[in-house]
Every structure is written in structure tokens, then in C-alpha cells.
Amino acid sequence: MSIRRLIIMAAVALSAMQPVSAQSIKGAKTWQTSAEPLKAMALVRAKIKAPIFKNKDYLVTAFGAKGDGNTKNTEAFKKAIEACHANGGGRVVVPAGRFLTGPIYIKSNVNLHLSENATIVFSRDSKDYPLVLTRWEGMDCMNFSPQLYAYGESNIAITGTGTLDGNADNSNWWPWKGRADHGWKKGEPNQFADREALHKQMAARIDPKKRVYGEGHYLRPYMLQPYNCKNLLISGVKMINSPMWFISPVMCDNITIEKVNIQSHGPNTDGCDPDACRNVLIKDCFFDTGDDCIAIKSGRDEDGRDNKRPAENHIIEGCIMKDGHGGVVLGSEIAGGARNIFAVNCEMSSPNLDIILRLKTSSSRGGVIENIFMKDIKVGTYKIAAVHCNMFYEKPGSHIPAIRNVWVENMTVKDGGQYGIFVNAYKESPVTGLKLVNCTIDGVETPVKADFVKDIKFSNVTINGKSVTADALLSGK
């Protein structure tokens, strides 16, 4: 090995050891008018195109599947998908009925189509779930396969008007969370030790393929997780009772998620969590969840920073959010950063919905959250805040995060909760370039609570019937 190469390697290793401060990251251009983010959103939209499939159907019942709710159809689904893939793709069609199965692996050029009154019910037997490379709460490992999984595939879809039933409840999967309100009893196993062990393996940068969990461990599988795939479509289906997060593509590109109905109040049953993905459209979906409705992510701590894959170019449009910790959320597994996130024409309302726009990160994460645009948002009620920026979500570290260029326009709130605007930031990394335009927020206890902010602008903003200025935000009044 040459001396020059050794010097370069040493420099790279040294730079990886240094904490990343907010001041060391070059700032992006701040939007001055709403025409700028609208133009940027149009450019993103042009990049997102749903895949098209060959006009040929493969009926799962032709491969031995039985929709009686009792027969385990894992092999029948596998054979149908393999046949479809081998012949250039098309639709693998699930007819009306209740089809029990283990995890389903989807191959390139395959559209898994659920007909009206078709339900895929996933097995409760953990032994049916093989080990695969997956991402669990932003950390990569070998764990139970997600109920629907793909790795390195392209042109894949799940469509139709049928139902995907994760088959989780307080007697299965959910008790692993370790909460009594979800079925866990003292002395029973839970995820605590495994979660802590995975944190330590990540911090030590152990190869994810050597971080082995699965059978005998208690990290719940997700419902749908394509990993390192491109050209994805999820359309029309209803999704219920996931063991954990519902939809969480990882490091994927070109994703369309439309007209999906997600309902579950289990622990950590996030609706849609794209993780380190690019060019994502989430449109006309319904969320009523036990955790965040939509949470955009880019990996936790070392795994997020080392992969260097930000979440970028996401459009959220025409969605309805009911219960959930947050409506549109960035984080907390956001170490890779996030940029160019647009949410427009959405409706949110529930006394069990905590926050409308939630940016949550910490100095154990680091990274930059920037270019966030939210417009035409109708809100009935919520519990905590309309706009919530928090840099202290989890334990601190040496990687100070940054939040900048956040634009909220035409948000109306009829009956708010604890805060209108909430900011908790680092003095050395204030939330920068937060703009509210034409916003009306009524019914809140505290209009504004903020510590460290910079370059804040309000235009035609009223909270509890009174005009609020940037000066009020800076003074905390």
C-alpha cells in the first residue's frame, strides 16, 4: 500500500472521529417567497413515476393457495411470485378470501394485487420469519423478516382494495414492547435487552450482518420494508394490526404510496416511515395510528451518519391524519439528515394527535434538517403543538444537529392544545429561518414557547385571535 494512500486513509479515519458541529455545515439558501418551494416541489414531483407492469396475471390459488383462513400459504405465494418474476413480471392476484401466510418476498417486476374482499393474514409464529438484513428503529441488523420484504429489487408493487392484516394484538407481538397496556406481564420477555444490545453493536460499528437477532430475541418485525430497492408502488390497500411500523422502505428511490388506509393503535405502529429514501410521494392516504402517522427518517446515530444517505425529495399530499404522536414528523432517527420535504393539502384532527409538524432530533444524531415546506393544512384539534422543533429528543452526544429553512403557510387550527409554536434548540445551533405565513391557530394554552431561534419571520399570523410577530417568538411571549 502506498504512503499516499495511507495518509488519505488516516485523514478519513480522523475526520470520522470528529464531532460534527452545526457551525461546520454550510448553510443552504433560505426561501424568500412561497413560489420558491412550490417550484422545488414541482421539480421533485417530476422525478417520481410509478412503475408499470406486464399485463399478465398469476392467481395464487392456481399455485395451491387456499383462502380458508387456516391453510398456511407461504409456499403458494412464493411459487406464484417466482413464476411471475421468471416470465417477465405482471400481477400476482389474491382473490376474495382470507389467506394465512408467513412473510412474503416480492421480486422485481411483480405487482402483488389484492382483489376486493381479499385479506392476507400474516402468521403469528415467529419461527415462520427467516433472518434477513433489515433496519430496526434506524439500526441495521439480521432480524425477523418484515411481513412483506424485498432486497435490491426494482419495479415492485402492492395494489388493490384488499387488506393486509399483520395479525398483532395484545396477545401476540405487541407484548414484546414491554408495556402492560399492550399485554406484557411481569416476568415475560420483552425487547429491552435486545434493543440495548443492538445500540451497543451499532456504536461499536459491528458489521450489521453479524448483529444477529430473530428467533429467541424480541425485536418485532415490520409489516412492509423494501430495502435498497427502486421504483415502488403501494396503492389502495388497507393495512391493520402491524407488529410494529407499517411501511418503512429503507434506502429506496422513486416511491409512490397512494390511497392507503392504515389503522392500528398498537405500540410503535407508525403509519409510513421512509428511511433514507429519495423521491417519495405519499398521496391521499389515511392514518389512524398508535405512533407517528408519517415519520421521515435517515438512520440512527452511527448507522445513519455512516451510510451518508439523507431523506430527500418527499411530497406528502392530500392525506388525513387522526390519532398519532405526530402528523408529519422528521426523526427521531434522522442522523443522515433530511432535505426538501413538502406537505400540502392535508387534514389533521384528534384529541389523541400530539403534534402537527414535528421535527425531533438530538446531539446523538446530528445531521441537518432543512428545506421543509408545509402549506394548506386544516387542523381541528391536537394535544401538544402545531409546530414543534426539539433538539433534545433523546440522550445527548457530540453531534449537534441543525434545523433550518422551515416554511409553514395557510395552516388553520380550530382548537389547539398546549402550544402554538414550540422550539427547544441549542444555543450554538438555533432553529434558523422559521417562517409562518397566513396562519391562524386558536384555542392554545401558550401561543409561543421558544428558546434559541434566528431569522424568524411571521406574516399575518394570529394565535388565539391576536396577531403574533417574530418579536413575540424571540421573547417567548
48, three cell numbers: 417520481
Along the 477 residues of the chain, how does pLDDT read in single tens digits? 333 333 323 333 333 333 333 333 344 579 999 999 999 999 999 999 999 999 999 999 999 999 999 999 999 999 999 999 999 999 999 999 999 999 999 999 999 999 999 999 999 999 999 999 999 999 999 999 999 999 999 999 999 999 999 999 999 999 999 999 999 999 999 999 999 999 999 999 999 999 999 999 999 999 999 999 999 999 999 999 999 999 999 999 999 999 999 999 999 999 999 999 999 999 999 999 999 999 999 999 999 999 999 999 999 999 999 999 999 999 999 999 999 999 999 999 999 999 999 999 999 999 999 999 999 999 999 999 999 999 999 999 999 999 999 999 999 999 999 999 999 999 999 999 999 999 999 999 999 999 999 999 999 999 999 999 877 556 544
Query: What helix, strand, coil percent values describe the chain, rounded to 5?
Result: 20, 45, 40
Cell 416480492 sits at which residue? Answer: 106
Distance of alpha carbon 416 from its chain centroid, rounded? Answer: 25
- Residue 471 is predicted with a pLDDT of 73
- Residue 8 is predicted with a pLDDT of 29
Residue type for 286, please? Answer: F
Rounded to whole angstroms, what are the CA distances from 234 to 155, 246, 351, 377?
11, 12, 29, 24
**Cα gap 361→374, rounded to integer Å:** 19
**Cα gap 311→27, rounded to integer Å:** 17
- Residue 18 is predicted with a pLDDT of 35
The conformation of residue 222, written as its DSSP 8-state character, comes to P
Taking the CA atoms of 390, 395, 399 and 400 in sequence, report the sign of the dihedral they define.
Answer: positive
Rounded to whole angstroms, what are the CA distances from 34 to 31, 82, 297, 397, 448?
7, 48, 25, 35, 23
- The answer to whether 384 touches 350, Cβ cutoff 8 Å, is no
Nearest to 156 by CA among 82, 120, 106, 105: 106
- Residue 10 is predicted with a pLDDT of 33
Nearest to 318 by CA among 310, 328, 326, 330: 328
Residue type for 457, please? Answer: K
**Cα gap 218→448, rounded to integer Å:** 41
Report, in angstroms and rounded to the nearest whole number, the Rg of the chain calculated over CA atoms.
Answer: 23
Nearest to 337 by CA among 362, 370, 313: 370
**Cα gap 422→420, rounded to integer Å:** 7
**Taking the model in full, what pTM does it have?**
0.93
CB under 8 Å to 475, separation ≥6 — which residues?
none
Burial-class residue 419 by CB neighbours within 10 Å (0-12, 13-18, 19+): buried
Residue 163: beta bridge partners? 119, 238
- Residue 470 is predicted with a pLDDT of 76
- Residue 24 is predicted with a pLDDT of 36
